[in-house]
Structures are given as C-alpha cells and as structure tokens.
Amino acid sequence: MKEIRIVFFRINRRRIPWAVTRMALDRRVMKKARLDFWKLLGTGTGESFTVKDADPFRWGALMVGDAFPTLAHWKSRSDAVKEFRLSPISVHGSWSRKSPFNQVLSPSEASEMKSWNGRVAAITRARIKWHDNLKFWRAVPPVNESLHSSPGLIKAIGIGEAPIGLQGTFSLWESPTAIRDFAYRSPAHQRAIAQTKEIGWYSEELFARFAVLEESGDW
C-alpha cells in the first residue's frame, strides 16, 4: 500500500557541515529505495522566502511509496525528529511536472478522506519565475503574518529544494475548518491569490491538504 511520509530532523551546530553533505549523498539513497516520488528538503522560517530565512538546524525528506529508507544516519545524529504519515484530501497542481499524491488512494478511499475531521497538514510549493522573484518577495510578508496569526495553526515552516526559486510551506492545523478559514477568509491570502492570477509569477505550483494519519516525535 502506497503511503506519504514527511520527516524533519533537528540538528546541532556541529552537524551542519555533515547535513549539507548528506543532502547531496542521500540522493543516491532515495534512488536506491525506488520510491514513487521523493524530495530532500531544506527548511526556513518562510517569512520572506529568501536565503536569509534558511534554518540550517532543520532538514527534511518527503517520500511517497510502499517501502521507505530508514534514514537511520539522520535519526542517530538528530536532537529531535518529527515524522508524519499522511493521506491526501485534495491536491491541485504539480511538483517537478508530476502529480505525486494523486495515485496514493483508490477512488473509494479518496472519497472517505473528504469527511476527515482530524488534524490536517498542508504543503504549498511553487517554482517562481526568475523575473518575478522581487514581486513575489514583496507579497509574502502580509500573507506570512496572516498565516502565523491564524486560529487553529499548530506549526508552519518554509520548505525548499533550493535556496531561491523553489519555495514552499509545510503547515499543520487542528482541523480542516481551520485551514479553510485561512484560505478563504484571510484578506491577505485572497489578495495574494488575486495577484497570482494577475501577475502569473509561478511557472509551476502545487497546493495539497492531507489527513494526518500518524504523528510522532517532536520539533
């Protein structure tokens, strides 16, 4: 049975050079695991989605498949590990020209997920057109402020495959209602959606909501 897992590793300062090296070497680990889809992730505050937001103390991995590498080398060197097992509720868009989450559930399972009422995780990811980076960065702060003050938000961090241009957010919410209220009732978020349609600053984008089936560890 295919599953979606995302895991974050918190390290100390002396492990940072090791972590940077592993981000390159672990591409081989992921390929050998024969996952359907995977991404090694850096993280950040998500306040401006520029290099200054980067958090060198937290790294992550997103995996889709039916068997997963243990990543024991990360876990043994981490001060904290936070892991989630997810099931898709709704997915819009693509990631690296793929739709990695749409084939996880059967049609009947996907229908059942629509009535999920527990904790929800959301992943947003965008490939920003280089000539629109400045416009995007100016639009981020109001949305970020609205996000972090939203009722029902448990945690939100920036995620990315590269320091600039491939940006995203992982957020954890108390309920589907909480994330819907942010998405459709936040004036800042609605303005950002309108600007996205008007300016078209993404060459690729994805927004996905997931039921949190299992959650372990700490941040």
Instruction: Please say whether the dihedral angle defined by the alpha carbons of residues 105, 35, 67 and 216, taken in this order, is positive or negative.
Output: negative
Q: Alpha-carbon distance 101 to 92, whole Å? A: 10
* Residue 142: how many other CB atoms lie within 10 Å: 15
Residues spanned by the domain of 78: 3-217
Q: Is the confidence at residue 218, as pLDDT, over 80?
A: yes
The tally of domains found in the chain comes to 1
Domain of 143: which CATH number? 3.30.70.100
Whole-model pTM above 0.75?
A: yes
Q: Alpha-carbon distance 59 to 77, whole Å? A: 12
The per-residue pLDDT for range 189-200, each reduced to its tens digit, is 566 565 555 655
Pairing, β 153-160 against β 166-173: antiparallel
Nearest to 126 by CA among 140, 116, 112, 114: 140
- 170 SS3 class: strand
Q: Is the confidence at residue 79, as pLDDT, over 60?
A: yes
The per-residue pLDDT for range 108-126, each reduced to its tens digit, is 787 888 889 999 999 988 8
